[in-house]
């Protein structure tokens, strides 16, 4: 698992946690590695999902297609996963099938003794997986703390309020006082009744 790239298929795996995050840094590192080693990726799999588990669409697709003798290249260990218990198991899965996994930012031991290399590198992977898992917990903790602080300060969370039609407030008062019906209210604003009640719900929150 820790050797040079094989002559069989070479795949790359990229992961970020959210749709908004940028994958350029990972793509650039993989491109540079491919150029330096004169190789071409058969497929680059990319997930935008949390690293807390391995229930990811593209990762599952990678596991289905990769076979003995193939190579998987990843920029960083925590791109594979941030779960202390499961990340080493995933690497073990590939090792048992003689599938090489190269992690660009994680220097691994290569003595030529396969069993010794596996033992030493497995210890290293376990340690790094533990660090990644703890970092994930810290991030979650900071997010929760930030949300609590924002709520305590009266900051409204969630979607920004929808911009209401110009005369909404004027006709809303008439509707509340039963001077006009909901149908009339909607017609005055030139919107559907369903849209009107969405506006009312948001306005009254």
Contact by Cβ (8 Å): 111, 117: yes
Is position 17 annotated as part of the catalytic site?
yes
Lowest mean pLDDT among 81-85, 92-96, 177-181: 81-85
The sheet carrying 43-48 orders its strands as: 43-48, 10-16, 71-74, 100-103
* Helix, strand, or coil (residue 121): helix
- Which pTM does this prediction carry? 0.56
> For the segment 41-56, what is each residue's pLDDT rounded down to a tens digit?
999 999 999 888 899 9
Catalytic pick among 17, 98, 110, 129: 17
The mean pLDDT of 165-186, rounded to a whole number, is 88
Contact by Cβ (8 Å): 75, 105: yes
């Amino acid at each position: 698992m820790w050797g040079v790239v094989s002559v069989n298929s070479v795949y790359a795996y990229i992961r970020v946690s959210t749709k908004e995050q940028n994958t350029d840094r990972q793509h650039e590192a993989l491109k540079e590695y491919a150029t330096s080693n004169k190789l071409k990726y058969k497929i680059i799999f990319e997930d935008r999902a949390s690293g807390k588990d391995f229930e990811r669409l593209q990762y599952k697709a990678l596991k289905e297609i990769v076979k003995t003798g193939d190579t998987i290249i990843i920029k960083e260990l925590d791109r594979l996963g941030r779960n202390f218990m499961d990340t080493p198991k995933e690497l073990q899965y590939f090792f048992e099938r003689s599938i090489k996994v190269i992690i660009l930012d994680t220097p691994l031991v290569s003595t030529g003794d396969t069993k010794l290399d596996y033992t030493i590198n497995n210890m290293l992977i376990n340690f790094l997986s533990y660090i990644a898992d703890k970092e994930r917990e810290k991030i979650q903790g900071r997010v929760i703390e930030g949300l609590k602080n924002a709520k305590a300060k009266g900051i409204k969370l969630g979607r920004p309020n929808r911009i209401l039609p110009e005369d909404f407030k004027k006709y809303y008062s008439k509707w509340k006082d039963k001077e006009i019906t909901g149908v009339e209210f909607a017609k005055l604003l030139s919107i559907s009744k369903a849209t009107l009640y969405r506006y009312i719900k948001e306005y009254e929150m």
